[in-house]
Amino acid sequence: MASEEPGSGRQYAFQARKHIAMLRRAWPGITIEIRWCLANEGITDNEKTDEWVKIAAEEPDNHGVE
């Protein structure tokens, strides 16, 4: 997330950094922890999980964060 170099997840890293900056401005004392985890690790129904992830990725951001 610290690199500006192009890569497969660059757009997501950019958005995450933007939202983190917004949170820090709104709540200066906030602690933010970022962890990497495999999307399907430990999930027995990987096919259903993959389907839901793809649907969620296609939906517009409705969380009120700009």
Range scoring the smallest mean pLDDT among 19-23, 28-32, 61-65: 61-65
Percent residues over pLDDT 70 in the chain:
64
In this structure, the number of other CB atoms found within 10 A of the CB of residue 23 comes to 13
User: Are the C-beta atoms of residues 22 and 65 closer than 8 Å to each other?
Assistant: yes
Q: Give the pLDDT confidence of 24-56 residue by residue, as tens digits.
A: 999 999 998 887 766 656 656 777 777 787 888
| 28 found inside a domain | yes
Mean pLDDT for the chain overall: 75
- The parent domain of residue 41 ranges over 10-58
Residue 1 in domain = no
Q: How many domains does the chain have?
A: 1
In a domain? residue 3 = no
17 in a domain, yes or no?
yes
Burial class of residue 11 in the structure, from the number of CB atoms within 10 Å of its CB (0-12 exposed, 13-18 middle, 19+ buried): exposed
pLDDT of residue 66: 46
The pTM for the full model equals 0.46
CB-based burial, 29-52: b 16+ in 10 Å, e otherwise = eeeeeeeeeeeeeeeeeeeeeeee
Q: Is residue 66 part of a domain?
A: no
